[in-house]
Structure 1
Amino acid sequence: MRQLFNIQNEYAALQTVILGTAQGIKPDPDHELQAGLPATSQLYTQPDPAMTEQDFSGVLECMKKLGIEVMKPDLVESSQVTDQTCPRDIGFVIDSIYFKANSRYTSRNLEHRGIEHLLSTFSHQHQVDMPQDIFLEGGDVVLAPGKVFVGLGARSTRTGILWLADQLKHHEIDREIIIVPHDVLHLDCCWNVVGPNLALWCNQATGNFSDINGNAIEIDFETILVNRKEQAALATNVLVVGPGEIFARNHFHCDKVNDQIEKKYKFFVHRLSFDCVPAIGGSFRCATLP
């Protein structure tokens, strides 16, 4: 019997996840991708594969202790693929449907080959390929009860958001789409839902939240505000592994946010060493595909 997808929100107990890999990291970045970065993002030198593997090993060990089933991508043999550290961007799940994302960049789309063997164990009837002229990446999709927050920025377009709205209707998924314009790489770099009514938010990085018709939406979440320095260190880009439990970066620019989550909101925060993937713009949420 084929497995079924089931992602309802960002904070339920994580059962199965694809974790990025340090395998195949090239010494030089994808220059086309680098040229398309927003002004707020900085791409440093490619991370050292051995150090990156150490970071991933720490995450893997912690996940296994929590009883999470961890899947790993196969290495994609292509000179165009510079790394496979961030599977979140190449696909995403909403309820019972897996959406294969489409990027402007060939290197990101080729990465999907590395997880196709994993997806083959799931129901094919619940997998949707995005058209080639539609651009929407998984880092721009954040779930909450009855809602899908979708980022509008460098990697995802309004056309992509409208396509997603049509797909949700077609698959009878009753969720309100909330569009969040932003000036960072992906939405989860500035907005992330970590509990039923709680979100991490760099409000300096976002414009007005609106519905699919452009009408302003008031945020009905309690928010932990993140400043620009904390955002640049990807303090919002945590991974919720269960109610009140997160993986967060052990970094001095993330300490204040982590302390607040821990002390005020009583979360258990796994502060893990994770510096290599952030060097190329991602962190815990980017590096995982539930």
Structure 2
Amino acid sequence: MIELHITNEFSRLRSVILGSAKSNGPTPKLEDAYDPKSAQHIKKGTYPVEKDMIDEMEAVAAVFKKYEVEVYRPEIIQDYNQIFTRDIGFVIEDKFFKANILPDREDEFTAIEKIWSQIPKEKRIQFPEEVHIEGGDVMPHGDYIFVGTYREDDYEKYITARTNMAAVSYLQELFPQKIIKSFNLRKSSTIPEDNALHLDCCFQPIGKGKCIIHKRGFLEEEEYEWLVDFFGKDNCFHIDKTEMYHMNSNIFSISEEVIISERNFTRLNKWLRSQGFTVEEVPYFEISKQEGLLRCSTMPLRRD
């Protein structure tokens, strides 16, 4: 059996599912794109190629090996995108949740069935059909669970709206002792700079009581202000629109002190080091063209 324990984003990591870019398939057709950034690169002819993405993911696997993290990988499905494991599931405390993702992506979960089957049955949670939720929107944080959502009446119009308020209510029922704090995110199906696909595309807590945040990712200014007050203004690293587009908030913590970050995030990485973090830089630019980065492609199973 696989042991589960996740209560935040940054305690010492012991085991994780890392996605795979092997047999990723050809460049999708424009009408099959799930997000505006992928669509942008399909149009421009700059969509990432498999070899480059494999190399990038192996660089992350090497960092995990360095820090003695146990790494699980999905089984390979021929010509199928299996990079973003965070979308398809997540762990809170000792429970493994199967996300309710876009129907076209359902097979991604079958590739981790062997891992899922090693979790005690009573710890495996599946959501009702009306609950839409993806792991990129869910962040355990001690007594809180932060959840990105989209509350507007035109929810159905957006393929980029991935987590609904039914999910927020359902999590509150499952964790009555926790505060479920939801954030209404800005969505766009056509302009990637205006689209917070998931909460981790515009915000992420890291160690030492700090966070990375982008104000314009939030539709309600008071919800953004709540986070700034919660962490303290001096503990918030604010990223601009371009940095959000390049996914600067989507890094990944191995511990309170160690963070994996993209090597081109010059301003962020300099600030992290100035705050006492060890920054393990990796190339991840090609994967970022699909509007996901390091947090999106990792699903932590156990932290200290």
**TM-score range for the pair, normalised by the shorter chain length:** 0.7 to 0.9
Please provide the CA RMSD for this pair.
2.1
Asked whether the equivalents of residues 228 and 236 of structure 2 are also in contact (C-alpha less than 8 Å), the reply is no
Give the deviation of 1:197 after TM superposition. Answer: 2.0
Provide the rounded CA distance (Å) in 2 between the counterparts of 1:177 and 1:281: 26
Provide the rounded CA distance (Å) in 2 between the counterparts of 1:196 and 1:165: 27
Partner residue of 1:143 out of 140, 144, 148: 140
C-alpha distance 41-28 of structure 1, shift in aligned 2 (>3 A): closer
Provide the rounded CA distance (Å) in 1 between the counterparts of 2:38 and 2:139: 20
Other-structure match for 2:72: 71
Letter in 2 for 1:138: G
Provide the rounded CA distance (Å) in 1 between the counterparts of 2:31 and 2:92: 30
List aligned pairs for 1:1-290, cutoff 5 A.
2-29=1-28, 34=33, 37=35, 43-45=40-42, 46-77=47-78, 82-103=80-101, 105-153=102-150, 154-169=161-176, 174-183=177-186, 184-195=196-207, 197-208=209-220, 219-221=229-231, 222-251=235-264, 254-263=265-274, 265-290=275-300
C-alpha distance 9-30 of structure 1, shift in aligned 2 (>3 A): farther
Give the deviation of 1:16 after TM superposition. Answer: 0.4
Give the deviation of 1:280 after TM superposition. Answer: 0.6
Provide the rounded CA distance (Å) in 2 between the counterparts of 1:188 and 1:182: 11
SS at match of 1:276: helix
Q: Which has the higher helix share?
A: 2
Give the deviation of 1:137 after TM superposition. Answer: 0.3
Provide the rounded CA distance (Å) in 2 between the counterparts of 1:32 and 1:94: 34
Asked whether the equivalents of residues 16 and 70 of structure 1 are also in contact (C-alpha less than 8 Å), the reply is yes
Asked whether the equivalents of residues 88 and 288 of structure 1 are also in contact (C-alpha less than 8 Å), the reply is yes
What percent identity do the matched residue pairs reach? 26
Give TM-score, length-normalised by structure 1. 0.87
Provide the rounded CA distance (Å) in 1 between the counterparts of 2:262 and 2:282: 5
Letter in 1 for 2:214: C
Give TM-score, length-normalised by structure 2. 0.83
Give the deviation of 1:62 after TM superposition. Answer: 1.3
How many residue pairs were aligned? 272
Provide the rounded CA distance (Å) in 1 between the counterparts of 2:121 and 2:81: 27
SS at match of 2:212: strand
Asked whether the equivalents of residues 20 and 73 of structure 2 are also in contact (C-alpha less than 8 Å), the reply is yes
Asked whether the equivalents of residues 30 and 107 of structure 1 are also in contact (C-alpha less than 8 Å), the reply is no
C-alpha distance 15-273 of structure 1, shift in aligned 2 (>3 A): same
Give the deviation of 1:243 after TM superposition. Answer: 1.3
> Whose RCO is larger (CA < 8 A, sep 6+)?
2
Provide the rounded CA distance (Å) in 1 between the counterparts of 2:82 and 2:92: 22
C-alpha distance 29-193 of structure 1, shift in aligned 2 (>3 A): same
Provide the rounded CA distance (Å) in 2 between the counterparts of 1:30 and 1:127: 35
Letter in 2 for 1:10: E
Give the deviation of 1:20 after TM superposition. Answer: 0.8
Gaps of 5+ in 1: none
Provide the rounded CA distance (Å) in 1 between the counterparts of 2:166 and 2:221: 17
